[in-house]
Amino acid sequence: MLQSALGIEESITRLKKEKKAVILAHNYQIPEVQEIADFVGDSLALSQTAAETTANTIIFCGVHFMAETAAIICPEKRVLIPDLEAGCSLASSINAAELNSWITEHPNAVVVSYINTTAEVKSLSDYCCTSSNAVRVVNSIPADKEILFLPDMFLGSYVAEITKRKNMFVWPGECHVHAGIRTQDINAMLEMYNSAELLVHPECGCTSSTLYDISSGQLLKKAHILSTEGMMKHARNSDARQFLVATETGILHRMKKENKSKEFIPIKEDAICKYMKKITLEKVYDSICNDVYEVKVPKRVADKARLAIQRMMDLT
């Protein structure tokens, strides 16, 4: 079938049926890709959907570690990513050799890796976690056990503060997009929009100060630290009419679409993940049409990484 004979969206929908494929998209994808997807969600929901799908092929519209996670969970399925250059600066902040030498320094510690890590790093970990279950995962580990938490330092400090854990070591990694959302950005926007609720992703550079302001009462009931799907749920259920959103701006498409009477304002217009934006409709078409680019994880790595992911899934 020639794509030019039909619109690109219709061609993708047709090929999807023919090939028994499913399209999964992260909340930060461009609007056109979100619209063509069968499911849009956060890292945890995408992993759960990958685990449950009966499709033969998963077209993963997100970044590479997410597609790798789907390939680990579903070794019998074909997982495709439309652009191999859709990486993640946070996942690149620690590699397997670095983690191995950190483990050597703390041989009895439990290793908790954020889902934003490579398959190899996950294979060296005891638990995986996402922004929506990191607190639950850490709370499930006996209090006397040391924890190595990686790679996001803002999420790690937030989890340590909430769980009151003193024996948790945090890797100094960061996401370049979220680290750039600083306390001064939040304060300036709160001054302009003083009746808005504030939604903050825990990878943000302002997470610790926001948490402090919530616990000291200054931002009580006004600010919420949430994963991208947690933000979606909160936007739906809150009575507020206006929201300041501290995360990658791709999420605003779904927020506005699903909450037509509410207003969503990004804290930073330029909080844009260039890796997430690598995926275009044309590349999705190419991916489904030509079965590119298959994401494969060696069995030796996948079998170990699956245990860490499964331990997380069992807790959620």
Could you tell which of ligand SF4, ligand 13P, none binds residue 275, using a CB distance below 5 to 8 A set by kind?
ligand SF4
Does 114 engage in binding with ligand SF4 (CB under 6 A)?
Answer: no
Does 275 engage in binding with ligand SF4 (CB under 6 A)?
Answer: yes
Does 63 engage in binding with ligand SF4 (CB under 6 A)?
Answer: yes
- The region, left, alpha or beta by phi > 0 then psi within -120 to 50, assigned to residue 304 is alpha
Does 177 engage in binding with ligand SF4 (CB under 6 A)?
Answer: yes
Could you tell which of ligand SF4, ligand 13P, none binds residue 27, using a CB distance below 5 to 8 A set by kind?
ligand 13P
Q: What is the spatial distance between Cα 12 and Cα 276, in angstroms, rounded to a whole number?
A: 20
- Residues forming the site for ligand 13P (CB under 6 A): 27, 42-43, 116, 130-131, 175, 178, 203, 227-228
Could you tell which of ligand 13P, ligand SF4, none binds residue 83, using a CB distance below 5 to 8 A set by kind?
none
Does 213 engage in binding with ligand SF4 (CB under 6 A)?
Answer: no
Q: What is the spatial distance between Cα 117 and Cα 95, in angstroms, rounded to a whole number?
A: 8
E runs forming strands in the chain: 21-26, 39-41, 57-61, 78-80, 110-114, 127-129, 147-150, 168-170, 197-200, 223-225, 242-246, 263-266
Q: Which residues pair with 281 in a beta bridge?
A: none
Structure tokens at 22: 């499913």
Specify whether the CB–CB gap between 203 and 154 falls below 8 A: yes
* Positions in 254-273 near ligand SF4 (CB under 6 A): 273
Q: How far is the CB of 195 from ligand 13P (least distance, A)?
A: 26
Residues that bind ligand SF4 (CB under 6 A): 63, 88-90, 116, 175, 177-178, 248, 273, 275-276
